[in-house]
């Protein structure tokens, strides 16, 4: 083997391949795209650097890009989310250079990002905009040869829009998160199920009858709220957006400020894309034994430095649980170092939703090549017809048929003269 890599253990490759094959069975849309890509080779010779969570689903996206002819490098998009067996399988069986080790330090994380940029990508595929950030800050000479970038997540899109508003985003980026077949499913059902999965795997605490506070009511947080309610928890939502707060209220949740919710919560979980949603004011009144976790992209949603400063001791009663002993005797249990708990202590979103997210990623990379030179600099959505095509393929794979408009209905919808 000639590829360079930095992974935990190549000996895990066989297990990683089995897990990727298992995931692939739930990814029929991506499989169809892969079959087409094998024939058409739309990315032949294109250098792609992907900074994604290294999971069995991502493994299947990498296989798809390689089938399209791309020259791919994969690096971790979070220090705690890597599945080491998948990283090994991609190196051993697909000959993809992978730079990702679960539990890597911040330093190593950025060294791995650099390895992604040293590949001189013509397309960057981000989950959190770290490669784009790196290109703009340290590798601007790559821009002249770039088709553009794709971005997976809400937090990344927020960052990219800030770059565009500052006038520094000098190439096109496809915000995959904007597609309906991404955020309506991955963010809601994926984050919903996998976040509860992560919290339960980390703590094994019963949720029924507990008070569960959710920070935010975007698609991720509403998925978490819905699944926590399904497990019998009393759910409280905190929000800054009046419309979303109203929606949460009419969806049947109690809505209040984080300061009001903090002393009530047995669990407090954030997924907002913003920083310090849980801060010193909340730590001041939390219950003894409160479980605190984050499912947003970055670990800044919880003010961990302040929690550290308030503590006299830190213990680890279980894997992925840091128990902070406060000066007044209360204990606060922080899960997964405040990093996305669905990927830290569980396996991330189930394959069936990643199928659609990564179908969007695959089509977005093809779209960038097909439209080279035609897209303006800045953030774009994938065209609606591709989004609808992904939904249609998913329905077909699920064996679900839907009605078709009759010519009479089409005429009715397009005319204003027909009356009522």
In the complex, minimum distance from the CB of residue 350 to ligand ADE, in angstroms, rounded to a whole number: 7
In the complex, minimum distance from the CB of residue 23 to ligand ADE, in angstroms, rounded to a whole number: 8
The smaller minimum CB distance to ligand ADE, of residues 307 and 346, is found at: 346
In 221-370, the DSSP E strands lie at: 234-238, 254-255, 267-270, 290-294, 311-318, 321-326, 331-335
In the complex, minimum distance from the CB of residue 243 to ligand ADE, in angstroms, rounded to a whole number: 26
What is the three-class DSSP state of 324? strand
The smaller minimum CB distance to ligand ADE, of residues 127 and 239, is found at: 127
How far is it, in rounded angstroms, from Cα 383 to Cα 304? Answer: 40
Residues 154-193: x where in contact with ligand ADE by CB under 6 A, - otherwise, as a string? ------------------------------------x---
- One-letter-per-residue 3-state SS of 349-377: CCHHHHHHHHHHHHHHHHHHHHCCCCCCC
Residues 104-143: x where in contact with ligand ADE by CB under 6 A, - otherwise, as a string? ----------------------------------------
In the complex, minimum distance from the CB of residue 77 to ligand ADE, in angstroms, rounded to a whole number: 8
The beta-carbon contacts of 34-38 under 8 Å, at least 24 apart in sequence, are 34/60, 34/63, 34/64, 34/67, 34/362, 37/64, 37/65, 37/67, 37/68, 37/69, 37/362, 37/366, 38/67, 38/68
The encoded tokens of residue 34 equal 């892969």
Number of residue whose CB is nearest ligand ADE: 348
How far is it, in rounded angstroms, from Cα 420 to Cα 412? Answer: 10
| CB 78 within 8 Å of CB 340 | yes
Find the angle CA(11)-CA(14)-CA(19) to the nearest 5 degrees.
125
The smaller minimum CB distance to ligand ADE, of residues 57 and 130, is found at: 57
The smaller minimum CB distance to ligand ADE, of residues 57 and 84, is found at: 57
CA 144, distance to chain mean position in Å, is 28
The smaller minimum CB distance to ligand ADE, of residues 201 and 330, is found at: 201
Neighbouring CB atoms inside 10 A of 2's CB total 5
- Near ligand ADE in 11-70, by CB under 6 A: 52-53, 55, 57-58
How far is it, in rounded angstroms, from Cα 389 to Cα 155? Answer: 26
In the complex, minimum distance from the CB of residue 186 to ligand ADE, in angstroms, rounded to a whole number: 7
The smaller minimum CB distance to ligand ADE, of residues 282 and 354, is found at: 354
In the complex, minimum distance from the CB of residue 193 to ligand ADE, in angstroms, rounded to a whole number: 10
User: Which of 119, 349, 380, 394 touches ligand ADE (CB under 6 A)?
Assistant: 349
CA 3, distance to chain mean position in Å, is 27
What is the three-class DSSP state of 139? coil
Residues 315-344: x where in contact with ligand ADE by CB under 6 A, - otherwise, as a string? ----------------------------x-
In the complex, minimum distance from the CB of residue 176 to ligand ADE, in angstroms, rounded to a whole number: 11
The answer to whether residue 348 forms part of the interface with ligand ADE (CB under 6 A) is yes
In the complex, minimum distance from the CB of residue 359 to ligand ADE, in angstroms, rounded to a whole number: 13
The smaller minimum CB distance to ligand ADE, of residues 339 and 349, is found at: 349
How far is it, in rounded angstroms, from Cα 197 to Cα 202? Answer: 9
Instruction: Name the strands in the sheet holding 378-380, side by side, starting at the edge strand that comes first in the sequence.
Output: 98-99, 71-76, 47-52, 123-126, 148-151, 172-175, 378-380
The smaller minimum CB distance to ligand ADE, of residues 60 and 311, is found at: 60
Number of residues that bind ligand ADE (CB under 6 A): 10
The smaller minimum CB distance to ligand ADE, of residues 57 and 266, is found at: 57
- Near ligand ADE in 354-413, by CB under 6 A: 354
- Near ligand ADE in 207-226, by CB under 6 A: none
**Residue 149 host element (H or E):** strand 148-151
The smaller minimum CB distance to ligand ADE, of residues 113 and 282, is found at: 113
In the complex, minimum distance from the CB of residue 330 to ligand ADE, in angstroms, rounded to a whole number: 32
The answer to whether residue 297 forms part of the interface with ligand ADE (CB under 6 A) is no
The smaller minimum CB distance to ligand ADE, of residues 16 and 348, is found at: 348
The encoded tokens of residue 373 equal 């030179």
How far is it, in rounded angstroms, from Cα 322 to Cα 6? Answer: 28
Contacts with ligand ADE, residue ranges (CB under 6 A)? 52-53, 55, 57-58, 190, 343, 348-349, 354
């Amino acid at each position: 083997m000639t590829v360079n890599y930095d992974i935990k253990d190549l000996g895990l490759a066989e297990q990683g391949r089995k897990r990727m094959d298992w995931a692939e069975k739930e990814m029929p849309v991506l499989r169809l795209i892969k079959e087409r890509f094998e024939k058409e080779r739309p990315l032949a010779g294109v250098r792609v650097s992907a900074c994604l969570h290294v999971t069995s689903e991502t493994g299947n996206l990498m296989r798809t890009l390689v089938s399209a002819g791309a020259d791919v490098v994969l690096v971790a998009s979070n220090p705690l989310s890597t599945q080491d067996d998948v990283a090994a399988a991609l190196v051993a069986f697909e000959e993809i250079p992978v730079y990702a080790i679960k539990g890597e330090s911040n330093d190593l994380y950025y060294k791995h990002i650099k390895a992604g940029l040293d590949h001189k990508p013509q397309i960057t595929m981000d989950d959190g905009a770290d490669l784009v950030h790196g290109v703009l800050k340290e590798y601007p000479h790559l821009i002249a040869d770039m088709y553009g970038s794709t971005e997976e997540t809400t937090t990344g899109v927020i960052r990219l829009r800030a770059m565009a508003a500052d006038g520094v985003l000098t190439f096109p980026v496809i915000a995959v998160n904007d597609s309906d077949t991404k955020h309506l499913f991955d963010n809601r059902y994926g984050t919903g199920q996998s976040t509860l999965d992560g919290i339960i795997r980390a703590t094994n605490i019963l949720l029924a009858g507990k008070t569960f506070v959710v920070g935010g009511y975007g698609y991720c947080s509403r998925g978490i709220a819905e699944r926590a309610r399904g497990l019998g928890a009393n759910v409280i939502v905190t929000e800054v957006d009046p419309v979303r707060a109203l929606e949460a209220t009419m969806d049947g949740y109690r809505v209040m400020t984080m300061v009001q919710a903090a002393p009530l919560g047995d669990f407090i979980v954030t997924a907002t894309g913003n920083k310090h949603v849980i801060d010193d004011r909340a730590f001041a009144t939390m219950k003894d034994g409160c479980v605190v976790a984050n499912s947003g992209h970055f670990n800044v949603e919880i003010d961990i430095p302040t929690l550290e400063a308030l503590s006299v001791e830190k213990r680890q009663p279980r894997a992925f649980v840091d128990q902070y002993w406060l000066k007044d005797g209360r204990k606060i249990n922080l899960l997964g170092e405040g990093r996305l708990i669905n990927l830290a202590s569980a396996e991330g979103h189930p394959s069936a939703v990643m199928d659609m997210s990564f179908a969007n990623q695959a089509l977005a990379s093809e779209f960038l090549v097909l439209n080279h030179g035609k897209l303006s600099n800045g953030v774009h959505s994938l065209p609606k017809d591709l989004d609808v095509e992904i939904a249609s393929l998913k329905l077909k794979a699920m064996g679900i048929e839907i009605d078709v408009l009759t010519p009479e209905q089409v005429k009715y919808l397009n005319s204003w003269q027909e009356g009522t």
